[in-house]
């Protein structure tokens, strides 16, 4: 589920970016808000997974190499998703105040690239942690 959420959020941030470049402010606001919500949903499901791993599977940082690796890798990634979600929320607030346009969009574009990077890292982590 988390992989679907993050891959979907890459699509929505891309749609938002295209809307910004075309001057479609309504679509920009909508798709960026959806991206923020997808980031929050990812974090919620990740928290739920941590609770399940701890309470029902007894997995902790001290329960061996897998437990330590699982919590460290997914925890650091979750921290970066949290930072990215906050950044995207700030971008949304700035857009609501009229900041950014087709000519002046570097801040939005940088936030978008960061979000794509976090998504790509998750795909690698998913394969390493859940598949192997």
Express each pLDDT in 68-103 by its tens digit. 999 999 999 999 999 999 999 999 999 999 999 999
pLDDT tier for residue 40 given thresholds of 50, 70 and 90: very high
With 90 as the cut, is the pLDDT of residue 117 above it?
A: yes
Instruction: Give the residue from 38, 40, 31, 29 showing the smallest Cα distance to 13.
Output: 31
Residue 88's nearest CA partner among 11, 31, 26, 42 is: 31
Residue 95 contacts residue 28 (beta carbons within 8 Å): yes
**Cβ distance 39 to 90 under 8 Å?**
no
Please state the pTM of the whole predicted model: 0.93
CATH number, position 69: 1.20.120.80
54 three-state secondary structure: helix
pLDDT at 30 over 90: yes
Q: What pLDDT is attached to residue 89?
A: 99
Q: Report whether pLDDT(1) > 90.
A: no
Has residue 132 got a pLDDT over 90? no
Which of the two residues, 63 and 12, has the higher pLDDT score? 12
What's the chain's average pLDDT? 96
Q: What is the percent of the chain where pLDDT is above 90?
A: 89
SS3 content of the chain, % helix, strand, coil (to 5): 85, 0, 15
pLDDT at 114: 98
Total domain count, the chain: 1
What range does the domain containing 60 cover? 2-131
Per-residue pLDDT at 130: 87
Inform me whether the pLDDT recorded for 54 exceeds 90: yes
């Amino acid at each position: 589920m988390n992989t679907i959420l993050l891959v979907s959020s890459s699509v929505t941030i891309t749609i938002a970016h295209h809307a910004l470049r075309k001057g479609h402010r309504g679509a920009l606001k909508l798709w960026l808000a959806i991206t923020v919500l997808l980031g929050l949903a990812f974090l919620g499901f990740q928290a739920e997974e941590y609770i399940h791993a701890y309470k029902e599977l007894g997995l902790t940082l001290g329960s061996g190499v897998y437990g330590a690796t699982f919590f460290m890798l997914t925890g650091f990634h979750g921290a970066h998703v949290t930072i990215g979600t906050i950044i995207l929320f700030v971008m949304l607030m700035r857009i609501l105040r009229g900041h950014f346009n087709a000519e002046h969009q570097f801040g939005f574009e940088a936030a978008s690239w960061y979000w794509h990077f976090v998504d790509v890292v998750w795909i690698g982590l998913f394969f390493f942690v859940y598949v192997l």
